Chain A
């Protein structure tokens, strides 16, 4: 099983794409650790995580079909 993660804004400079797939894990903490290993620059980037279209606070359980998004702030006008 794989999880699909949608990448927004300038975070795609780090991932190189706006959709990435990683082997399934059961929590967002595990997911973020795996992502930061694969893309070290994510470690210092600013973003929030949405799971099933809700912004999460702290570690959150993931289901096999959870939709995940990483959203950075931007300020352009």
Chain B
């Protein structure tokens, strides 16, 4: 522990603020914040929460650092590639502020872990990267009555909100009652994201957490804030509780534990995934139809096999026109193509239907 004088000096500039003061600093020191995901949103949020002096920071992430993380996940450097994110984050945050407690959970978040962890924290910051986890986290926070600071990014746009701030407050299901199925909405790996954008949105989430803890200002409660980085446009829309939507939520912890969130998002359904080698073998076949389900203009162009383009957004109307002995769906990372394969399998049992695992990105790796 450092001397009191040093602590006063460390936090001097924010204690100087009359809205914050010694009391604000004390409240931060006593607070426990759980950050879900040490990714694009989690990194900047963790940096500011640690620097501000939040007493206990929990970090949940099962993943390791990879090269394609580095343009936006600013806690990590080239030398950290392959290391567990939570461990690198802990080390970097300790170097910034050794006075705080950091607890790391290198685990994939599931319903049991939500119930086990969330109770011992005051507020939850969602920096996760998929709908299955986001709906699970939302439902857990509503059940346990934990405020949830939500943030999400795509390409140049971000969203921020504070859900479940109290018994009558809105939650994510008041906005979007049910999760989209896998492939219906692109993730960052497929749609791309400007590196600085999660920096802005994650910092805003940290700001909401600090305001909630210290009681300063007004929260984005019952509101959704949207930001567009290209045009500096922002908009705050009002949300209200939609009783009808609540029927989708688990009523109690038992129901929550038995909910399969990945299944709700269409993950793990039964379609045949093939790898690049299997596709090469299929290309030799006659009456093979390869369908690129990416939206218009998505790069890289597929040059390794003849194909037709049917973007997923309009595919359902075109399904009945597909005629071949064997169909292989391809997309950027293999998720939308799996969705397409499942859709076709629902209406057609005659065609052999496949999805290229890992998508175009995987094919390029294989060729190198």
Contact = CB atoms under 8 A, between A and B. Distances in A.
Contacts of B126: 77
B187 A75 contact: yes
Nearest to A42: B313
Contact of B157 (A53, A54, A57, A74): A74
Given A44-B316, A76-B193, A57 B226 contact: no
B238 interface: yes
Which of A45, A53, A57, A74 has the most chain B CB atoms closer than 10 A to its own CB? A74
Given A55-B238, A69-B237, A77 B42 contact: yes
A14 B185 CA distance: 13
Contacts of B151: 77
Interface stretch (B85-93, B95-103, B127-135, B352-360): B127-135
B39 interface: yes
Contact of A54 (B40, B128, B154, B238): B238
Given A48-B176, A76-B193, A77-B37, A13 B295 contact: yes
B37 A46 contact: no
Interface string A50-67: 100111010000000000
B129 to A, nearest CB: 4
Given A8-B226, A9-B157, A54-B238, A76 B187 contact: yes
B176 A46 contact: yes
B188 interface: yes
Contacts of B39: 77
B218 to A, nearest CB: 16
B152 A75 contact: yes
Contact of B313 (A13, A48, A50, A71): A13
A19 to B, nearest CB: 10
B313 A44 contact: yes
A77 B317 contact: no
Interface size class on chain B is 35 or more
B226 A77 contact: no
Contacts of A55: 175, 224, 237-240
Given A46-B176, A55-B238, A55-B240, A10 B185 contact: yes
Which of A54, A74, A77 has the most chain B CB atoms closer than 10 A to its own CB? A77
Contacts of A73: 131, 152, 175-176, 180, 185
Main secondary structure of the interface of B (DSSP, over half): mixed
Interface in B30-57: 37, 39-42
A53 B238 contact: yes
Contacts of A48: 175-176
B17 interface: no
A16 to B, nearest CB: 9
A49 B224 CA distance: 13
Interface in A15-44: 18, 40-41, 44
B159 interface: yes
B209 to A, nearest CB: 16
B296 interface: yes
Contacts of A41: 311, 313-314
A68 to B, nearest CB: 11
15 contacts: A8-B157, A9-B154, A13-B313, A41-B311, A44-B314, A46-B185, A53-B235, A74-B152, A74-B191, A75-B130, A75-B152, A75-B154, A76-B129, A76-B153, A77-B198
Interface of B: 37, 39-42, 126-131, 134, 151-155, 157, 159, 175-176, 180, 184-188, 191, 193, 198, 224, 226, 228, 231, 235-240, 242, 295-296, 311, 313-314, 316-317
Given A41-B311, A73-B152, A77-B128, 7 more contacts: A8-B228, A13-B295, A14-B313, A44-B313, A44-B316, A55-B239, A73-B131
